[in-house]
Amino acid sequence: MSFIIRPGEKKDAQSILDLIIELAVFEKEPDAVEITIDDLLQDGFSNHPKFKTFVAEETNGNIIGMVLFYERYSTWKGKAIHLEDLMVTETKRGIGAGKELYTSVMKYAQENGFKRVAWEVLDWNTNAIDFYKKTNATVYDEWRVCQMNEANLKQFSSENI
Amino acid sequence: MSFIIRPGEKKDAQSILDLIIELAVFEKEPDAVEITIDDLLQDGFSNHPKFKTFVAEETNGNIIGMVLFYERYSTWKGKAIHLEDLMVTETKRGIGAGKELYTSVMKYAQENGFKRVAWEVLDWNTNAIDFYKKTNATVYDEWRVCQMNEANLKQFSSENI
């Protein structure tokens, strides 16, 4: 392989942010990313990190992919991992970096006693869905993701004192 | 109101577990709950709790509902809340406890600077979906929930050294 997988470090924050933005563009939400490099550094690479990362690094030092994840809690199974983002930059697809990043999270979860790994995928991303199914993950048709965004959260809270 | 909303405490753990199981039965997964009362006490009511709860308590001390939530991280918005379970026992529906529990999480998120509250709902649970939409939450059709369970996690990890 022409790349290695290693834990992400502070010095990778800009590359990680670039990949977050590239993924948002791929997901047709180019303006959705509001976090900044300072947010990423503070939230992920300070004393109490809110997430962990692995990065795929080429031998020349280029970061070509990353996976970002954190702990959740299942009231059915116990402690779980949520895989928030998995991304390989467009020009570096097909060399296996995505599978290695995915595998690194699964192994992390298994070695650290987590009972489940969960994530979300867009229904039109059939390449990803096919890959997940091949690894024996389950893609659920009947669950819907719900979100209250910041503006509506503020509005709802002010109307329900 | 004949009930109050307050943070869940250690003494509520059995009531919370009963409601988790009642919710799993409602969701047609009666055998899915593997966590025990000891897991709940350890994971939620020790020094580093993995989740928080609010409970709805009647004036006679009965716990009739609960909501369980924890922190997540959105690479688009920043720190977020995941609402894992919201449940009111069947005989106590219709008196507003569900809405008060839901509101308590939204207010907690808003007051503590969270940028989003996220959760999942079954597509046939139209009563819940209608309620969420009325509060200006978004129910996404295009996202699919994926999970790797414990057995497949073990299998996959052993096949991908």
Mind listing the pLDDT tens digit for each residue in B29-82? 999 999 999 999 999 999 999 999 999 999 999 999 999 999 999 999 999 999
Residue with tokens 């590239």: A22
Segment (H or E) for A116: strand A116-122
pLDDT band for position A37 (50/70/90)?
Answer: very high
- Among the partner-chain residues B50, B122, B142, the one whose CB lies closest to the CB of A79 is B50
ipTM above 0.90, yes or no: yes
Name the residue in chain A with its Cα closest to that of B145. Answer: A120
- Among the partner-chain residues B33, B39, B103, the one whose CB lies closest to the CB of A160 is B103
At the top level of CATH, the class of B3-159 is: alpha beta
Name the residue in chain B with its Cα closest to that of A120. Answer: B145
Name the residue in chain B with its Cα closest to that of A152. Answer: B136
Instruction: Show which of residues 118-147 on chain B sit within 8 Å of chain A, judged by CB atoms.
Output: 118-124, 129, 132, 135-147
To the query of whether residue B102 is one of the catalytic residues in this protein, the response is no
* Angle separating helix axes A97-111 and A126-134, nearest 10 degrees: 50
pTM as predicted: 0.96
Residues 6 or more apart from A64 whose CB is under 8 A from it? A3, A56, A57, A58, A88, A89, A92, A97
Kindly state the average pLDDT of the residues B100-119.
98
Q: What is the dihedral of CA A138, A129, A136, A54, to 10 degrees?
A: -100
B60 touches chain A (CB under 8 A): no
